[in-house]
Structure 1
Amino acid sequence: MAFKSSKHVALAAIGMAAALGAAWWFQKPAPPRPPGSAAAPAEAGRSAPVTVTVQAQAARQMTLRDEAQAVGSLRSRQSVMLRPEVSGRVTQLNFHDGQRVRHGQLLVQFDDQLPRAQIRQSQAELSIAQANHHRNQELVAQGFISQRSLEESAANLEVAQARLALAQATARQLQIVAPFDGIAGIRSVSVGDYLKDGADIVNLEDLDAVYVDFRLPERLQGKVRTGQRAQVAFDALPGVRYAAVVQAISPQIDADGRAVAVRGCMDNRRLQLRPGMFARVTVGFSERGDALVIPEEAIVPEAASPYVLKIVAGPQAGSRVARRTPVRLGLRAPGWVQVLDGLQVGDLVVTAGQQRIGKDDTPVQVAPQQDAGAAAPASPAAGNAADTADAAMAAPLPGPDPCQSPLPDPRHAVG
């Protein structure tokens, strides 16, 4: 038994000695190589840089628009729900549903027999008061009555005139007229209905021009101005865009959404647009025809200092290397970004394969299909208006633009 244990210890000692010898052999320094001798193939492979195949595109100049997109809703330029001021029974409806009506047109007549009788009574009293006052003027001139009698007759005349005006105003309250030119909606009453004051009768909409209300981020409140042009597209009207003019900007920033409310106006004499429609608005602030742009996939974000991998000539003839180049960015368009500083027209930047480039001056080989440069797409500005790239602008109609026409004087809006 003791003999077997000694044998095992000896074998273990021999194995450890062999392992230590092998470790010393592999770790000892290589003997010096004579000058001019060729390196071993393995060492040559480790020292030679690896060429990375990448895709690249050249920086080019294109037209870029500084613009913002938003969603909004349409509103009538003028809209009102007609309601009676006093209670009464409907005796006439002088319009049809959806009919165009004119300013001052009588739309609804209530029962006015009592006010008309009061008007006739007031007119008779006024005639008597006028005759008495005229006669007293003659008598005062002849000295038959005192001046006080003339003053009393004048006061009676004014009272009679006021009673007639009151009767006429009461009768007018029983007539509902159109406050402006527009299109009547669908009525909710019929002849013979007895309505309480304030009951809904019919809505009236001025659709020759419509407003589009939308919101822009507060950072843009210094750029938007009244009179600026905007393009508006609608999901309900695919392939059609309308031109809008910014007419009003809210003086207050919405504290909830940190946005500013903006209102634009559009010519709607074609009557294609309806209040309540969903709209996609693109507001243009400026246009730059010589913006230097590169594909957005070429940008490598790094905190506040983005950079690109620029392809430059390498140390060997015909070779190329990638070099990290910081850039300052400007406007953006779908798939493109403007470079304000760091590149020039024609500079080649890596668009795919950046993750395989570990350090500057890494040799690169540009994929043949990209080396010559892909066909330049249309101006990035053409794609800035999402969902409207293939839409056609609605041609302006002859005649004055209703958005430029002043609204009726509110003091004379009701006839």
Structure 2
Amino acid sequence: MCGGVLCSALVAAQPPAVPVETILVVPDQVDIDITAVGDLRADEQVTIRAEIPGRIAQLNFSEGQAVKEKQLLVKLDDAEYVARLEESNAAVKLSEHSFSRTQDLYNKKLSSRQAYDEAVALLEQDRARQSLERVLLAKTRIEAPFSGIIGLRYLSQGAYVRAGDDIVEVVKVDTLKLDFQIPERFLPQIQVGQAVSLQVDAYPATSFPGKVYAINPHLNETTRTASLRARVENPERQLLPGMFARVALTLKQRDQAIVVPEQAIVPQGNQVYVFVVSEGKAKRVPVTLGVRLTGRVEVLSGLSIGDELVVSGQLKLRDGAQVLQLPKPSPQE
């Protein structure tokens, strides 16, 4: 007990409680990422070329059109190849008759073995030519090798093409390949199936997910980097082959991590601290920091889930000071 004057003096001597804002420490997920730059490539890309010479009779596509696998794209004038096949068919038919007669005579001992062998060779030669003419005729029809998007064509209908001339490109873009490189020190933490995300200048606010599916088995001897290839789904066709990409590769995920706002950290010399509230008083706690994120930082030690962490007003605190916890803002505020 104390007298009225003495008690009033003691109360007046106590410093006022420091108003602070706090949050409850809860578990969070932390992704340990490395960054790189890469290039997007088509999942499949091929230049359609003529395998035989001829005049383009039909172009059965429009530039930028989606096409299906085996869809007819180009038809060359086949009149000459049809005639050559008919000629070879006639030659085979004649050879078959000749062989039949020679075989009959040979069996009756009325023809020599040489004549029989020559008839066999002629028939085989004519059949081989017939097969070749069938193949050449089939090459007058040029089909899409896979489903994709038609590019810009190089020739017009009616143009004469030689074997090997470019006609148009077909590109598969529903799925893209992402090629990028990482330093060799990260290789032990890389495996097929690892998640990546990428951003491109065309859509700076959008992150596109992908997964690593191939790792080059040898390093670049100059840069000592490993080449990785990821597959990126592109159903909306926003991404295009040739785009430059900024890549983030997730090396590790920690599901029960403690992540706090950066402003809660109080540096002092070579050590960093936070303040927690316990029984109405501030307690200064040294912490060890981990990964830094945008506006947040991981705490590896010093904090526990369920602690009341001071996030505002800590600069006026000292260890053991009385605090006044301000109401937490409602979700609507």
Q: Give the TM-score, by structure 2 length.
A: 0.71
Q: Give the SS at the match of 2:63.
A: coil
Please tell me whether the aligned partners of residues 213 and 264 of structure 1 are also in contact (alpha carbons under 8 angstroms). Answer: no
Corresponding residue number in structure 1 for 2:300: 340
- Please tell me the residue identity of whatever aligns with 1:308: V
C-alpha change, 1:259 and 1:171, in structure 2 (3 Å) is same
* 2:276 is the counterpart of 1:309: no
Structure 1 residues 235 and 365: CA distance shift in structure 2, 3 A: farther
CA contact (8 A) 1:59 1:344 kept: no
Alignment identity in percent?
A: 32
Size of the alignment, in residue pairs?
311
Structure 2 counterpart of 1:66: 31
Q: What amino acid sits opposite 1:187 in the alignment?
A: R
Partner of 1:118: 84
- Distance in 1 between residues matched to 2:201 and 2:322, nearest whole Å: 43
**2:258 corresponds to 1:261:** no
Change (3 A) 1:238 1:228: same
How many angstroms does 1:72 deviate by? 4.2
Opposite residue 94 of structure 1, the aligned amino acid is N
Alignment CA distance shift 1:121-1:343 (3 Å): same
**Unpaired runs of 5+ in structure 2?**
1-17
User: Could you give the per-residue CA deviations for residues 43-83 of structure 1, whole angstroms, max 9, x where no partner exists?
Assistant: xxxxxxxxxx9989678233123243555443322111212
Q: Say which one has the larger Rg.
A: 1
Distance 1:58 1:152, change over 3 A: same
Q: Distance in 2 between matches of 1:104 and 1:58?
A: 62
Please tell me whether the aligned partners of residues 67 and 147 of structure 2 are also in contact (alpha carbons under 8 angstroms).
yes
Alignment of 1:3-402 (within 5 A): 60-68=25-33, 69-232=35-198, 236=202, 242-254=208-220, 255-256=222-223, 258=225, 260-266=227-233, 268=235, 270-277=236-243, 279=245, 281-296=247-262, 298=265, 300=267, 307-311=271-275, 325=286, 327-345=287-305, 346=307
Distance 2:328 2:219 in 1: 45
Q: Secondary structure at the match of 1:222?
A: helix
- Name the amino acid aligned to 1:250: N
The alpha-carbon distance between structure 1 residues 272 and 366, as it changes in their structure 2 partners (threshold 3 A), is: farther
Relative to structure 1, the CA distance from residue 106 to residue 292 in structure 2 (aligned partners, 3 Å threshold; closer, same or farther) is closer
Unaligned runs of 5+ in 1: 1-52, 378-415
Rounded Cα–Cα distance in structure 2 between residues aligned with 1:148 and 1:215: 68
Q: Does structure 2 conserve the Cα–Cα contact (< 8 Å) formed by 1:229 and 1:243?
A: yes
Measured after TM superposition, the shift of residue 204 of structure 1 is 0.8
Whole-Å Cα distance in 2 between the matches of residues 207 and 64 of structure 1? 33
Displacement after TM superposition at 1:266 (Å):
0.9
Aligned Cα RMSD in Å?
A: 4.3
Q: Distance in 1 between matches of 2:44 and 2:73?
A: 17
Greater relative contact order structure (CA < 8 Å, 6+ sep): 2
d(CA) in 1 for partners of 2:215, 2:282: 54
CA contact (8 A) 2:72 2:141 kept: yes
Deviations 1:356-397 (A, max 9, x none): 99xxxx7686886xx5597699xxxxxxxxxxxxxxxxxxxx
TM-score, reference length from structure 1: 0.59
What CA distance in whole angstroms lies between the structure 1 residues aligned with 2:133 and 2:20?
A: 88
Contact 2:54 2:162 in 1 (8 A): yes
- How far apart, in 2, do the equivalents of 1:147 and 1:373 lie? 111
Report the secondary structure of 1:330's partner residue. Answer: strand
The offset of 1:263, in angstroms, is 1.5
Counterpart amino acid of residue 290 in structure 2: G
